[in-house]
């Protein structure tokens, strides 16, 4: 199975990295922001740089949409996995349109209120993973797996 892991750097990357026992068994490609955190944590991995910042930045949203199209077409992943933030939405939008399975992990620190990216990606997600029971109030189709951190 080929996995496409898409996330912002920092805490989002740290949470997806915690899934290492699962993703290390598969062929994979990462899309995240360039920087020392990603470079050190993902040393030896295939990493494609996304455009940042993504918050309220329409030009970068369009660049990431174009990036999503080219990466998904070139890599042909079986599954797209993300926990946000803004870089995830263009990938989920096109991933779903191109019939790629999609998995979204709502972040650890959003317990009682949903994240913006979670709300945007929810309609395009086949499997929506929750880390807290309280998150089910915002995402009734979610699957509770418990805390990753």
How confident is the model over 14-48, as pLDDT tens digits?
A: 999 999 999 999 999 999 999 988 999 999 999 99
Beta bridge partners of 84: 7
Task: Flag whether 14 is in a domain.
Answer: yes
Give the model's confidence band at 147: pLDDT under 50 very low, under 70 low, under 90 confident, else very high. confident
Tell me, yes or no, whether 144 lies in a domain: no
Which residues span the domain enclosing 16? 2-106
Domain assignment present for 28: yes
Per-residue pLDDT reduced to its tens digit, 44-73: 999 999 999 887 889 999 999 999 999 999
Domain count for the chain, please give it.
1
Note whether residue 112 is domain-resident.
no
Residue 58 lies in a domain: yes
pLDDT tens per residue across span 101-121: 999 999 988 888 999 999 999
For residue 79, give the CATH number of its domain: 3.40.50.2000
Residue 39, φ and ψ in degrees, nearest 5: -60, -40
Of residues 11, 45, 15, 14, the one with CA closest to residue 31 = 45
Q: Which pLDDT belongs to residue 148? A: 78
Q: What pTM did the predictor assign? A: 0.94
116 located within any domain = no
Asked whether residue 76 is assigned to any structural domain, the reply reads yes
On the question of pLDDT at 149 being above 90, the answer is no
Q: Is 60 a domain residue?
A: yes
Instruction: Write the DSSP string, 74-120.
Output: HH--SEEEEEESTTHHHHHHHHHHTT-EEEEE--TT-SSS--HHHHH
């Amino acid at each position: 199975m080929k996995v496409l892991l898409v996330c912002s750097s920092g805490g989002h990357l740290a949470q997806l990295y915690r899934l290492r026992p699962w993703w290390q068994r598969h062929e994979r490609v990462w899309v995240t922001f360039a920087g020392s955190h990603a470079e050190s944590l993902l040393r030896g991995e295939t990493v494609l740089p996304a455009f940042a910042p993504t918050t309220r930045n329409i030009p970068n949203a369009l660049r990431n949409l174009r990036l999503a199209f080219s990466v998904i077409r070139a890599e042909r992943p079986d599954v797209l996995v993300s926990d946000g933030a803004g870089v995830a939405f263009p990938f989920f939008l096109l991933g779903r349109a191109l019939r790629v399975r999609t998995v979204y992990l709502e972040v650890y620190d959003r317990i009682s209120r949903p994240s913006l990216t979670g709300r945007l990606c929810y309609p395009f997600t086949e499997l929506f993973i929750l880390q807290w029971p309280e998150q089910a109030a915002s995402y009734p189709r979610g699957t509770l797996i418990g805390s990753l951190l």
